[in-house]
Structure 1
Amino acid sequence: MYDQNELKNKLRAVSEAGAAHHVLDILESNLRRMGATHILVTGLPMPNRPIDTLVQRFRWPDLRNDGIESTSLSANDSALMLGLASSRAKIWTISEGDTEHSELMAAANAGNQMVIVPVTELHPFQAFVFASGPAIQANKWDLAALEVLCAAVFSRLRELGAVSGQRPGGLSTRERKVLELTAFGKTAGEIADVLDISQRTVHAHLQNASVKLNASNKTHTVVEALRYGQIRV
């Protein structure tokens, strides 16, 4: 299925598209050809934040209702969390257990495959492409090509102003820096010296980051900051 020249043509079409919906049409067409019947293109919100303003395309018919109605989309859907488990595109086979905890996977039906593509180029913004269908066909080369296409799509969406590099509830630059230094084992005193701030300010930044990330302690805060693309180490 993978064709290098075809990928080049799609990338050129994306770069030349003058409107966000044209960019998304190119991606949707590619996913349909892979066998997708359900498509979600979206940014991922921070914890406890709504997803609505981050959704770029949502074509997700509810097969429990004969596909007549699209399912609702919640920022807490466990399917979205699957995207945080890997930095590479992957295929997930939806199980009965998945459908009990995810409205998205329940609407797509157990047994269907779901392609999950994380987009990491817009750091600290996180984006994902989800596609499901009963006959998804994609080998490792197809997934690699899809990663490249999805990255190009979101880069073009940002150029067109459809996607912002930030998201509501994201960490501030100073909060990210404090957490990065914490991740490298620096103490509050050492961080204060490096950033030329007081230890009290360091602790305040850690506390603010913990609240934003819905974390229970310092270690959990660092882990969630890594998962949500707020810091890199």
Structure 2
Amino acid sequence: MADPTEIQSKAAAIAEAQTGKHVLDVIEAQLRRMGASHILVTGLPMPNRPIEGLVHRLRWADERLGGIERSGIDAEDSALMLGLMRSRAFIWDVTAGDTTHSELFASIGADSQVVVVPITEAHPFQALVLGGGARINGGKLELSNLELICNAAFRRLIELGVISTQRPGDLSARERRVLELTALGKTANDIASLLEISQRTVHAHLQNASAKLNASNKTHTVVEALRYGQIRL
């Protein structure tokens, strides 16, 4: 069981850190204590955008390839998509099927485990912490503490200017507002009246948002906006 004093000490270390490296070191040390041999700390890209510039720490050895590099991470790798599935930390058991759809999973191998920590407190920015190993040691309390540490770390990284909360491809403030109203069941006419713009402008904002989110229709656009943290209800 995690020692509350130790968690407080880690939180203090994060708050006092003056460089991004020191903050990331705290995350990595906590993951390794839980049994992780593979570490990835990264922002999550918007659809059709590269991930390379969002990766902050990568320690992901791969015996087949000699190690995965930042430029070798596929932005649509299914391991990364786990960060969009839930809002709380959890442990994922890697199966043989997982390894066929993910280079990150393939490099660590089937029958291993990955602790997944979605970072959700920097809206609309989204990030993910992954720690993989043969066996991850963590119950509910340990996962909760890891979640606290990782979110505190990202808040500090933002304060230090290491991370910008703006991602390439983010929706504009007006596009977000139009989608929020759409999600609440408002028609284009309703939205035009509320925002004091024309219906044509409303449709233009919806089309722009759809293109950015790689969505096929209005409903899909709203769903993807929610999934990528662009709007909240």
Deviation at residue 100 of structure 1 after TM alignment: 0.2
2:95 aligned partner: 95
1:69 aligned partner: 67
Aligned partners of 1:192 and 1:3: how far apart in 2? 54
Q: Does the 8 A contact of 2:24 with 2:153 survive in 1?
A: yes
Aligned partners of 1:64 and 1:28: how far apart in 2? 23
How many residue pairs were aligned? 231
Coordinate RMSD, CA, aligned = 0.9
SS of residue paired to 1:206 = helix
Aligned partners of 2:167 and 2:19: how far apart in 1? 21
Deviation at residue 70 of structure 1 after TM alignment: 2.7
SS of residue paired to 1:24 = helix
Aligned partners of 1:2 and 1:229: how far apart in 2? 31
Q: Does the 8 A contact of 2:83 with 2:127 survive in 1?
A: no
Structure 1, 151-160 or 68-77: larger mean CA deviation: 68-77
Tell me the alpha carbon deviations over residues 125-169 of structure 1, each in whole angstroms, 9 at most, x when there is no partner.
Answer: 001101110021000000001110000000000011110011000
1:180 aligned partner: 180
2:8 aligned partner: 8
Q: Does the 8 A contact of 1:174 with 1:205 survive in 2?
A: yes
2:203 aligned partner: 203
1:51 aligned partner: 51
2:31 aligned partner: 31
Aligned partners of 2:172 and 2:228: how far apart in 1? 14
Deviation at residue 37 of structure 1 after TM alignment: 0.5
Matched residue type, 1:48: N
Q: Does the 8 A contact of 1:213 with 1:221 survive in 2?
A: yes
Aligned partners of 1:28 and 1:7: how far apart in 2? 14
- Superposition misfits of 4+ residues, deviation over 6 angstroms: none
Structure 2: gaps (5+ residues)? none
1:137 aligned partner: 137
Percent identical: 63
Structure 1: gaps (5+ residues)? none
Aligned partners of 2:159 and 2:138: how far apart in 1? 29
